[in-house]
Amino acid sequence: MKDYLTLDDFPLDNQRILVRVDVNSPMDPDGTILDDKRFRGHLPTLRDLEEARVVLLAHQSRAGKKDFTTMEAHARKFSQLLRREVTYVDDIFGTRARDSIKAMRSGDVILLENTRFYSEENISRPAEEHAKSHMVRGLAPLFDLFVNDAFAVSHRSHLSVVGFTENLPSAAGRLMEKEIEALDMGVRGNEHPSIFVLGGTKADDSIKVIANVFNRGGVDQVLVTGVVATVFQMAAGTNVGERNRDFVAGLDYSDQVSIAKDLMDKNPGKIVVPRDVALDQDGERLDVAMEKIPPDLQIADIGLETIVDFSKRIREAKLVVLNGTAGIFEKEKFSLGTSEILKAATEADFSIAGGGHTSAAIEELGLESRFSHVSTGGGASISYLSGDRLPGIEALKKAAQRLRT
Is residue 127 a contact partner of residue 163, using CB atoms and an 8 Å limit? yes
- Is residue 155 marked as binding? no
pLDDT tens, residue by residue, 267-294 = 999 999 999 999 999 999 999 999 999 9
The identity of residue 398, as a single letter, is: K
Closest C-alpha among 385, 386, 384, 405 to residue 394: 384
Query: Any residues with CB less than 8 A from the CB of 205 and at least 6 apart, and which?
Result: 382, 386
Is it the case that residue 342 has pLDDT exceeding 80?
A: yes
- Cis ω for the linkage preceding 193 (within 30 of 0): yes
Distance CA 241, CA 224 (A): 18
Average pLDDT of the chain to the nearest whole number? 96
- Is residue 378 marked as binding? no
Average pLDDT of the residues in 294-312? 97
- Is residue 134 marked as binding? no
pLDDT tens, residue by residue, 15-48 = 999 999 999 999 998 889 999 999 999 999 999 9
Residue 319 has a pLDDT of: 96
pLDDT tens, residue by residue, 344-371 = 999 999 999 987 789 889 999 999 999 9
- Is residue 96 marked as binding? no
Residue 378 has a pLDDT of: 83
- Is residue 62 marked as binding? yes
Is residue 246 a contact partner of residue 253, using CB atoms and an 8 Å limit? no
pLDDT tens, residue by residue, 102-138 = 999 999 999 999 999 999 999 999 999 999 999 999 9
- Is residue 250 marked as binding? no
Distance CA 200, CA 325 (A): 5
The identity of residue 19, as a single letter, is: V
Is residue 46 a contact partner of residue 174, using CB atoms and an 8 Å limit? no
- Is residue 38 marked as binding? yes
Distance CA 358, CA 325 (A): 6
Distance CA 79, CA 82 (A): 5
- Is residue 61 marked as binding? yes
Residue 254 has a pLDDT of: 82
Is it the case that residue 215 has pLDDT exceeding 80?
A: yes
Residue 395 has a pLDDT of: 98
- Is residue 3 marked as binding? no
> What are the structural domains of the chain?
7-175+389-404 (3.40.50.1260), 192-348 (3.40.50.1260)
- Is residue 357 marked as binding? yes
- Is residue 281 marked as binding? no
